[in-house]
Each structure stands twice: as C-alpha cells, then as structure tokens.
Amino acid sequence: MLCFAKAFRLVFEKGTGVIEKTYNKDKLQLDFQVNEFARSLRMNKSMTVGVLLPELDNIFSTRIVSEVENILMEHGYSTLICDYKNSPALERSKLQFLTRKMADALVVMPTHLTAEDFADINKPVVCLDRPIEQFDCDRVLVDNRGASASAVQHLVAHGHERIGILCGPREVYTVRNRLAGYREALLQAGITPDESLILFGDYDVKTGHRLTRQLMQSENPPTALIATNFDLTTGMVIALNELDLRIPDDISVVGFDHAELASAMRPHMSVVLQPIQQIGQEVANLLLDRLQGGTQSMREIVMPTCLTQGQSAKHI
Amino acid sequence: MLCFAKAFRLVFEKGTGVIEKTYNKDKLQLDFQVNEFARSLRMNKSMTVGVLLPELDNIFSTRIVSEVENILMEHGYSTLICDYKNSPALERSKLQFLTRKMADALVVMPTHLTAEDFADINKPVVCLDRPIEQFDCDRVLVDNRGASASAVQHLVAHGHERIGILCGPREVYTVRNRLAGYREALLQAGITPDESLILFGDYDVKTGHRLTRQLMQSENPPTALIATNFDLTTGMVIALNELDLRIPDDISVVGFDHAELASAMRPHMSVVLQPIQQIGQEVANLLLDRLQGGTQSMREIVMPTCLTQGQSAKHI
DNA sequence: CTGTTAGCGCATTCAA
DNA sequence: TTGAATGCGCTAACAG
C-alpha cells in the first residue's frame, strides 16, 4: 500500500503552531496538508472541544467561551461552538453531533438535558453555569442566590421594600436560584415578597423592555427594579427612559453583567458582576485535567459574584 | 482484518434523522455508533459546513447563521461556528482550522482575509455580508449605501441638515459603504457633510453610548442621529436618556436592525432593517448548489434594505 | 537512523 | 442476497 505518510516529515514546533514539511521520494513538498480525518481516526481523538450553548447572542456565555478558547488554544485544542436556540430537541441533537462527530470533550450549558442524554457519552464533560440533575460531572457554577441577594440588600439598605425583579424563563436553573436569593434576602429583611413584582420572560432586550413597562404601569409599581441579566438590564433602561422615569430619582435599579457599560453610564449603574474570566479559566482547567487523563472525582466550583455600587439606587 | 462494518446494518430513514441498527454475528446491537472520523475519511467529506464570524455577540450575524443552519439541516448538513474576535491572526487560523479539519464548505464573514488566504482552499466558499477583493466566490451582500441613504433621506425629509452618524470600525466593508451612502444622500440633498458629525468605533453598546455623548456634548451638536448597527443603536438610546434628550422632541434618530425592539419602543423607533431571513436563505441555497456539484460561475446577490418608519424623527 | 508495515472503521467492490 | 477484501491517509510499532 502506497502511503502518503511514506514521505518523511520534519515537524518544527514554532510557538503555538506546528509547521510540517514533507519530503517525498521525488519532490520536496512544502504545501503538505495533513488529512485530519485520517489523523483523528488513527489517534481516536480530534484535539477539539465542543461547546454547547443555549444561544449565541448572549454576552455572558460568549465571553466565557472566548476565555475558554484562549486557554485551550495554548494547549493545542480547538473549540467548536454549537447553539441550540433554546430548543430542547436541538439541544439533544447538537449534543449528539458534537459528541459523535467531533469533540474529545464537551463544555455544556444545559437547559433541558438530563443524565440520560449523557448515558452513552464517554467523554469528559464540564457543565457551565448550570448543573444536570443526577449527572455527576465537573461543573462551574455561579452563586446565583448570593448574586440577587446582594442586589436586594443594596436596595433594602436604601430603604426600598417594593422591589421588582425581571427574571428569565422559569425553567432555567439560574433563574430559579436568582429568584430564590431574591426571596430569601427580602424575608431576611423582614419583607414579604409580593408575587406581582416578580415577572418572567425570555432573556432578551425586548422582554426587559416589555416587563419593565408592565411593572411600572401597574397600579402599585415598585420603587426599585432588579434585572437579572444584561439583555434584561438594557431593555429595562430603555423602557424607563420612555416612561420618563429617571434613574435614580424616580426609580432605583440594579443591573446585571457588563461592567464597562454600567460604569460608562451617568450616573453609574449598580450592577451584579459575574467573574467571567475566572469562570472561563476554571472551565478550561477542569477540561484540560480530564483530557490529560486525570481521574479525580467530580468537582464542583461555585464562583462568587460581586455587586459594583454605582449611583443608580437612591434613598427612598 | 476484522471490520466493524462486517456487521450488517439496517438503515431506516425516519424524518430528518437516521437510525442505524446493527446486527453483529453474535449479538443484536441497537446502540451502534458510527465512527464519523472513519466515515469522513472514506467519503472524503464530513457533511459539515463551517461558519466563520467576526464575533459571536452580534445579533445580525447570529440570526443569519441560525437561518442558514435551519436550511442546511434539512439537507443533512451540520453547521460549525467559529468566531475570530475581530483579530486578523485568528481570522486566518480559524479559516485554516475549519477548512482542513472539518468543513466541506464555508460561510465566511471576513474582515481582513484576502484572496491569498483562499489560495489552497478548494472548497465552496460563500462570503456573507462582505466580499473579499480579488477573490471570486459566491457572495450575499446588503445594499449598505441604500440603507444609510434611506436613513438620511428620512431625516432630511424632516428638515434635518446636521445629521450625526455612528459608525463601526473604519476598515470594515459595510462601514465604508454605509458611510458612503450617508455622504451621497447628503450631497444629493444639497448638504455638505460635516466631518465632525462622523464618528467611528467598535460595533458595540458601550461605543454607541460613548460616541453619542461625545457628539451631543460637542459645541455644535447634530439635530439628528443615525446608528449603523443594533448595538450602536442601543448605546445611543441609553446615552440620550442620560443626557435628558427626548426622542423625537430633542433629537431625531434612526436605528438599525431588530424590528421587534424598535416597534416595542414608545414612540416606535424608525429603523433600517436588513432582510435577515432572506439573506440566510440565499446563503444556504448558494451553498447547497455548490455542494451538489453545481459549476456555475460566481454569483453575487445584493439584498435591499427597508426603512421602517416610526415616530423617532420629528420636523425641526 | 531510516524505511516498511499494520490497522484505525468505514463504504465500496468483488466474489460466492 | 450475503460475506470478504480493499484502501482512504494517518501514526506507531517494528525491521533493517
């Protein structure tokens, strides 16, 4: 069998990349291109990590992925991104796709996946932002309860009792936990949560806009608002503007994510910040450990959040 | 050689998916998993299309990709997404990665790529939103000149002459063309463009915010503003709010993209809309044609935009 | 140190 | 109809 690999290949490591020069019997080939299918088949690995995200247009997840990517790249791994557009069916089929077709390991930000979906997946999996019930795998989570609790405490400290909260979809893990933290913090402050101040919807700008209008135009509107992700925060700010409600004179607010914009605004907006860079690092490290054959037991890492105080909350 | 494929496989087509059942000599295997590396090596194709984007967090590109994905899926193709974070080096290396490792064809939204980068790529390529000089490949573009011209005309019709424009990075194709359309429409209306009203920056919310403040706090601010993508539009609206400038009473504006938010706002915002769904369809069709062996010459499709009139522009 | 070979799992072809 | 043989291009093990 005449093999291509019969050729004599000099491999120079140069920085992060690899330059391969091939000498054939008759000719010097400088433009040799490895067939990655063959290599992957032979090695039974593709040096590729699959990333499964709910949707692409979300600054939180894409920024984390960006971090993960940077670190993995330094170790010779590439990153493939799939999104499932918040569809349970797509979520499962893309998981299958990444697993069977491509990836040596997975980073998954699940919504509806269950342990069953991972039954025949014998590859390292790291859950990002959300765990999967009954499925023991490495995971990097955020202290969601603490996040919203700190927002509530900040507002309570300014005398607010009627605090509205804009939430994402009910079924999402982070949404439930952020809401739980909100309730706990209110109760701890001796305030009974008013269910009419709790609104759910999609995690997008339009929803933030709609829910804010709904809340502020109700009979008994809140004196303060918490938005629980960046898009909701943006929609909230736009809607308050339209309603001629000034921050913080007419309404106090706490936003979520995106320090740059929050501190560019006048007055600075108080925001809950998730440690995006560190989350990415933790994910990458867990992944690399597993890929390098670590056989430790499952690890769960919970990252703290931090409330950056601006001037978007005012004493009532 | 004992081949796995020695097994007898029944293949049932069921909807879009394929269920494969394998009977081995000794046992009935229902959980047979194809080795996609081997299949790809043998077939010399992966049934996968690679998508290369400047960044993930951009509603315009991710929505288009979503459309493309839907159509390709119906034809048995999967989609892989890579972003290059606006880095020229990454842009090239990810192109290489997608080409060599994975994809049968490519959808590329280029910034710095040149014809040279495609010299040794013998796969179908469709350029999305931006062409590549000297490189003849299928492409789907948008009438960017017409887009910004229609925004200018809309404002001029309301008596505005000092119209500011928030642009993305100078080097981007769409930015240059949108700016050109702006200049042309002004000149056509007998107005000499004022260079101090033209600002460049990144295509993000923070930049929209910053540039708007800069423009509106200058000595001789414009009476109307055009933002040339969705993130810039969002930043603009937030900044105008902070500056206590009411739309449209104090300032007229035209935004870009995202019909849903524009029409949710009060008053409705006038926006330039790009036909995202159709763009996705055109891209997918071009791709499928090539993948099915069409050998037509290069095709360029330019999509029209449409200005949706809201009440965000007022007679001066 | 250099060149040859085996086999990864698949789809295809050929043989029975 | 059904089973066996071939080779896709690679890497690793082996032989000279």
Strands B78-83, B48-53: parallel, antiparallel or unpaired by DSSP?
parallel
Distance (Å) of CA A188 to CA A157, A254, B18, B128? 12, 19, 54, 54
Average pLDDT over residues A281-300: 90
Spatial distance from the CA of B16 to the C1' of D1 (Å): 29
Contacts of B46 (CB under 8 A, 6+ apart): A37, A101, B36, B40, B102, B103, B104
- The amino acid at residue A120 is D
Helix (H, G, I), strand (E, B) or coil at A153: helix
**Residue A296: band (very low, low, confident or very high) from pLDDT cuts 50, 70, 90:** confident
pLDDT digits (tens, 9 = 90+) for B211-235: 999 999 999 999 999 999 999 999 9
- The amino acid at residue A149 is A
Ramachandran quadrant class, B74 (left: phi over 0; alpha: psi -120 to 50; beta: rest): alpha
Are the C-beta atoms of A91 and A118 separated by less than 8 Å? no
CB < 8 Å & 24+ apart, contacts of A127-133: A128/A61, A128/A64, A128/A279, A128/A283, A129/A60, A129/A61, A129/A64, A129/A173, A129/A174, A129/A279, A130/A172, A130/A173, A130/A174, A131/A173, A131/A300, A132/A108
pLDDT for residue A10 is more than 60: no
Residue A30: predicted pLDDT: 54
Which nucleotides of chain D does any protein CB come within 7 A of? 2-12
**Residue A57: band (very low, low, confident or very high) from pLDDT cuts 50, 70, 90:** confident
Which residues 22-61 of B interface with strand C at a CB distance below 7 A?
Answer: 33-35, 38-39, 41-43
Residue given tokens 């108080």 in the structure block: A270
Are the C-beta atoms of A191 and A219 separated by less than 8 Å? no
Total residue length of chain B: 316
Average pLDDT over residues A174-194: 98
Average pLDDT over residues A30-47: 88
Helix (H, G, I), strand (E, B) or coil at B302: strand
Q: Is A85 exposed, middle or buried (0-12, 13-18, 19+ CB in 10 A)?
A: middle
Residue A281: predicted pLDDT: 98
pLDDT digits (tens, 9 = 90+) for B19-37: 333 333 323 345 678 899 9
pLDDT digits (tens, 9 = 90+) for B114-170: 999 999 888 999 999 999 999 999 999 999 999 999 999 999 999 999 999 999 999
User: Which residue in chain B is spatially nearest to A65 when comparing CA positions?
Assistant: B56
Spatial distance from the CA of B42 to the C1' of C11 (Å): 7
Cα dihedral value A218, A223, A227, A230, nearest 10 = 110
Residue B150: predicted pLDDT: 98
Residue B31: predicted pLDDT: 66
Percent of chain B with pLDDT over 70: 90
Query: Residue A80 and residue A96: Cα distance in Å, rounded?
Result: 13
Residue A12: predicted pLDDT: 33
pTM for the model:
0.89
Task: At A182, list the tokens.
Answer: 């909100």
Q: Which of A255-264, B41-50, B98-107, B274-283 has the least mean pLDDT?
A: B98-107
Are the C-beta atoms of B142 and B302 separated by less than 8 Å? yes
Helices (H), chain B: 36-43, 59-74, 88-97, 144-156, 173-188, 205-216, 230-242, 259-264, 276-291
Contact (CB<8Å) B56/A55: no
Average pLDDT over residues B89-112: 92
- The amino acid at residue A251 is I
The DSSP result for B189-222, as a single string, is TT----GGGEE---SSHHHHHHHHHHHHTSSS--
Q: Sign of the CA dihedral B102, B108, B112, B114?
A: positive
Which residues in chain B have their CB less than 8 angstroms from residue A258's CB?
205
pLDDT digits (tens, 9 = 90+) for B39-87: 999 999 999 999 999 998 899 999 999 999 999 989 989 888 899 999 9
Q: How distant is the alpha carbon of residue A118 from its chain centre?
A: 20
Residue B100: predicted pLDDT: 83
pLDDT digits (tens, 9 = 90+) for A59-84: 999 999 999 999 998 998 988 899 99
**CB of A81 less than 8 A from some CB of B:** yes
Mutate to test the interface with A, among B20, B67, B261 (most CBs of A within 10 A): B261
pLDDT digits (tens, 9 = 90+) for A109-167: 999 999 999 998 889 999 999 999 999 999 999 999 999 999 999 999 999 999 999 99
The reply to whether the CB atom of residue B119 sits less than 7 A from any atom in nucleic acid chain D is no
Mean pLDDT of chain A: 89
For residue A241, give the nearest of B35, B78, B241 by CB distance.
B241
**Residue A213: band (very low, low, confident or very high) from pLDDT cuts 50, 70, 90:** very high
Q: Which nucleotide is nearest to A40 (CA to C1')?
A: D10
Query: Residue B31 and residue B10: Cα distance in Å, rounded?
Result: 13
Mean pLDDT of chain B: 89
- The amino acid at residue A106 is L
The reply to whether the CB atom of residue A39 sits less than 7 A from any atom in nucleic acid chain D is yes
Instruction: Give the closest residue to D11 (Cα–C1′).
Output: A42
Sheet holding A198-199, edge to edge: A198-199, A163-166, A224-227, A252-256, A270-273, A306-308
Helix (H, G, I), strand (E, B) or coil at A116: helix
Which residues in chain B have their CB less than 8 angstroms from residue A55's CB?
62
Q: Sign of the CA dihedral A82, A88, A90, A96?
A: positive
Residue A27: predicted pLDDT: 31
- The amino acid at residue B139 is R
pLDDT for residue A21 is more than 50: no
Residue A316: predicted pLDDT: 85
Helix (H, G, I), strand (E, B) or coil at A6: helix
pLDDT digits (tens, 9 = 90+) for A269-280: 999 999 999 999
Peptide bond into B248 cis (omega under 30): yes
**CB of B264 less than 8 A from some CB of A:** yes
The minimum CA-CA distance between B44 and chain A, rounded to whole Å, is 8
CB contacts < 8 A (A, B): 124
Strands A28-29, A17-23: parallel, antiparallel or unpaired by DSSP?
antiparallel
pLDDT for residue B262 is more than 70: yes
Residue given tokens 């007229």 in the structure block: B252
Instruction: Tell me the residues of chain B between 111 and 170 that have a Cβ less than 8 Å away from chain A.
Output: 120
Which residues in chain A have their CB less than 8 angstroms from residue B5's CB?
none
Contact (CB<8Å) B31/A101: no
Instruction: Tell me the residues of chain B between 272 and 311 that have a Cβ less than 8 Å away from chain A.
Output: none
